Amino acid sequence: MKMTPMIETFVMHFGEMGSRWGFNRTVGQMYALLVISEEPLSANDIAEALNVSRGNVSMGLKELQSWRLVQMHHVPGDRKDYFKSLGSIWDMANKVFEERRKREIEPTMSVLRDTLLVTPANQQEEYAQQQLKEIHDLLENVTQWSEELQRLSPEKLSTLMKLGSGVGKVLDMKDKFLKSS
């Protein structure tokens, strides 16, 4: 498979973004390629398009499957496994948020809960616990909020996001009005 310059630009950028979202650059590139490919791709197709080893592709596909972002397809008469991105773009975003919560937020919350159960030995630890309680409460609220958002349909979520940007504009106008009076 040969990528066009436009597709290559997107795939390479998505790889860089993937490294910020919790998976390595090559895995991000593989996922981007699968997202924008109309037909399922074999591991060989992916390796050729990205100019990476077949072993690297195999490990990356396993990681994407563990994140539940890709699905294996079989083509009648062909013994190779083919892969396709799973679900919509909204589904992908939800799965990435869910996996990041499991891998990052939940362990942090566990450490915070354990630390907050310890009786402070001195003023320094008491102050530290107050700060940790604020962090815990913030993460707990953000987690609950994100779980509520994940339950919304893509249409409702899109409407909510549009309302949010509208609320920001109204608040900006209010600030400008108050400054001018």
* Tens-digit pLDDT profile for residues 8-23: 999 999 998 887 777 8
Cβ atoms of 118 and 132 closer than 8 Å: no
Identify the pLDDT of residue 174.
66
> Can you read off the two tokens belonging to residue 42?
């074999």
Identify the pLDDT of residue 90.
82
**Chain-wide mean pLDDT for the chain?**
88
Helix runs in 22-100, H state only? 25-36, 43-50, 54-66, 89-100
Binning pLDDT at 50, 70 and 90, where does residue 171 land? low
Which fold would CATH assign to domain 5-85?
Answer: Arc Repressor Mutant, subunit A (1.10.10)
Task: Give the pLDDT mean for 151-180.
Answer: 73
Residue 162 burial (CB < 10 Å; 0-12/13-18/19+)? Answer: exposed
pTM greater than 0.85: no
Identify the pLDDT of residue 166.
66
Q: Is 84 helix (H, G, I), strand (E, B) or coil?
A: strand
The structural domains of the chain, with segments of one domain joined by +, span: 5-85, 89-180
